Amino acid sequence: MRNFLTPLIDKLNSLPKKESIHFYTLLYIAWKNFSSKKLRSFLTVFGVVIGVSAVYFLLSFGIGVQQLVTTQVVGDQSLKSIDVETPNSKIIALDETAINAIRTFPHVDSVGILYSFPSITTLDGGEIDVVTFGVDTTYQELSALNLINGRLLIPSDNKSIVISEAALRALGIEQPSEAIGKDILVNIPLSGVEATQTRIKDEFKIIGVIDAGSGSEAYVPSGLFDAAGVPAYGQVKVVVDDIANVDGARKQIESRGFQTTSLADTLTEIDDIFRFFNIVLVGFGSVGMIVAILGMFNTLTISLLERTKEIGLMLALGARRRDVRMLFVFEAGLISLAGALAGIALAVLGGLAVNLAVNLNAQTRGVTAWFELFVFPPWLFFATIFITLLIGLIVVYIPARRAEKINPIEALRRE
C-alpha cells in the first residue's frame, strides 16, 4: 500500500547504522504491538477518546460562551480607552489644565472630552427633553456611535447636531432621512455650573441620525461649551497606545484624584467568572479522563505481564534497558495520541452539531444573527494533545520501570 507517507517511511527504513537501536525501529515495534492487539488497543483508545472529548467539548463550550458574552459587552468599544471622572467637581476639577497634564503622561495617545447637559429641543412645533452631549471628535470615535443616516461630527462643524432616532420619533419624524438638513432649536440651560453664559440656545442643522436604542440624545461640537465658559468637562476618555499600558495610565490618573473606569475591569470580571465556570466543566470532563487513565494503566500493565518473556528475550538479544523502557513509553504515546486526536475530532463534531441545532432553534424564534456557542482555538488543540501525552507518560511510568527491571534469566527460565 503506497501513500504520501511512503517516501518518509522508506527514508526512515534506511537510516544509517548507529551504535544502538534506532528510535524509529522501536516506534515501529511499539506500533506492531499496539496494532496486533486490535480489540484491546481499540478499547483502551476508546476510553481515552471519551475522556478527551468530554473535556474538549465542555471547554470549547465554556470558551465559546465566554467569547459570546465578551463580544456582547465590549461591542465596538476600544479596550485601550479609560473613562475619567471626578468624584467631586468642586474640589478636583476635570478641566483643561487637568487634561493637558494627562496628555503628557507616558503612553497616552489622545484624550477625548464630553460635556453633558439636559436640553429642551423643538422642531416643527414639537418639543421634547433631550440629553445633549458636547463632544470632540476623539470622544465621538471612542463612543462607537451607530450611525444610520447622514454623517457624524467633524472638527469644522459648528452649529451641527447628530440626533438619535428615538428623539426624532418623539418629535414626529418617522423617517431618519427626512430629518437630515432640517434646523432644530436646542435650548441648553447651563445652571449649576459656574459658566460665563447662563444658557446655549440656538438653531442647529441636523447632519446625522444615530440608533441609540430608546434614548433621546444628541451630539453637538464641544467647542460650543468651551465658548460658553463651562469650567469643567463631564467626562474624559483617555486612549493609551497599548492595552498593556492601561493599568499604568490609570494609576497615574488616579494619583491626581480622579476616578477611572475601564472596560478591562468588566473583562476581568467576566474572565474570573468563566475561569471558575471552565474549572467546573473540566472537573466534570475529568471523570471520564480518570476512567480512561485507569484503562490505560490496566492495558499497559497487562501488556507488561504477558510480554515478560518477550522483554527478557529482547534484553538477551542485545536491547538496552532504556530501549525496553522507551518501547513502553512509545506504546503509551501511541494510545494517548490516537485517543487525543480521535477525542478532539469527536468533540468538534459534537460541538458543531449542537451549535447548528441551537442556531436553527434560535432562528425559529426570530434570532437572525448566527452565533458560535463552541470555539475551537488552536491552542486548545495543542494543549489537549500535549496534556494527553503528558498523562500517558505519567501512566506508563510504573509499567515502564517494571519492564526495564525485568531479569532476562528469570524471564527466559524454562517452564
Partner 1 sequence: MTSSRAKHTDEKVIIDIGEVSQSFTVGDETVSVLKKIDFKLKNKTFNIIYGPSGSGKSTLLNILTGLQKPSTGAVQFDGRRLYELTPDKLAHFRANEIGIVYQQNFWVKSLNVLENVAMPLYFSGHSRFEAKKRAREALDLVDMRPYEKKNPSFLSGGEQQRVAMARALVNEPLFIIADEPTGSLDSKNGDMIMNLLDRCRKEYGRTIILVTHNMEYLPLADHLLHIEDGMVKQTTDDADIQTTTDDLLLDMKRRIDRLSKERKNA
Return d(Cα 219, Cα 203) in angstroms, integer: 14
Residues 36-55 as x/- pattern, contact with partner 1 by CB under 8 A: xx------------------
Query: Hey, what's the cell of 318?
Result: 542485545
> Residue 314 interacts with partner 1 (CB under 8 A)?
yes
CA of 117: how far to CAs of 86, 91, 230, 350, in Å? 16, 20, 11, 53
Helices 321-364 and 23-36: angle between axes, nearest 10 degrees: 60
According to CB under 8 A, which one of 5, 8, 13, 97 is a site residue for partner 1?
A: 13
Return d(Cα 30, Cα 33) in angstroms, integer: 5
Residues 6+ apart with CB under 8 A from 388: 48, 52, 336, 337, 339, 340, 343
Which of these segments, 68-76, 162-170, 204-212, 316-324, binds partner 1 (CB under 8 A)? 316-324
- Considering only residues 376-415, where is the footprint of partner 1 by CB under 8 A? 408-409, 412, 414-415
- Taking a C-beta distance cutoff of 8 angstroms, is the pair 277, 68 a contact? no
- Minimum CB distance to partner 1, residue 328 (Å): 14
- Minimum CB distance to partner 1, residue 300 (Å): 15
Return d(Cα 67, Cα 62) in angstroms, integer: 9
> Residue 17 interacts with partner 1 (CB under 8 A)?
yes
Q: What angle do CA 204, 205, 208 make, to 5 degrees?
A: 120
Which of these segments, 144-152, 222-230, 232-240, 314-322, binds partner 1 (CB under 8 A)? 314-322
Give the number of residues written for the chain. 415
- Minimum CB distance to partner 1, residue 13 (Å): 4
> Residue 174 interacts with partner 1 (CB under 8 A)?
no
Please, which residue, 25 or 259, has the CB nearer to partner 1? 25
Instruction: Give the number of other Cβ atoms within 10 Å of residue 261's Cβ.
Output: 13
Least Cα distance to 197 among 219, 227, 233 occurs for 227
> Residue 195 interacts with partner 1 (CB under 8 A)?
no
> Residue 18 interacts with partner 1 (CB under 8 A)?
yes
Please, which residue, 257 or 408, has the CB nearer to partner 1? 408
According to CB under 8 A, which one of 125, 155, 318, 366 is a site residue for partner 1?
A: 318
Region class of 361: left (phi > 0), else alpha (psi between -120 and 50), else beta = alpha
Least Cα distance to 149 among 93, 211, 89 occurs for 211
Which of these segments, 15-23, 118-126, 265-273, 355-363, binds partner 1 (CB under 8 A)? 15-23
Please, which residue, 240 or 406, has the CB nearer to partner 1? 406
According to CB under 8 A, which one of 112, 221, 312, 339 is a site residue for partner 1?
A: 312
- Minimum CB distance to partner 1, residue 309 (Å): 5
Residue keyed to cell 440656545: 201
> Residue 27 interacts with partner 1 (CB under 8 A)?
no
Contacts with partner 1 by CB under 8 A lie at: 12-22, 24-25, 28-29, 32-33, 35-37, 307, 309-310, 312-321, 323, 408-409, 412, 414-415
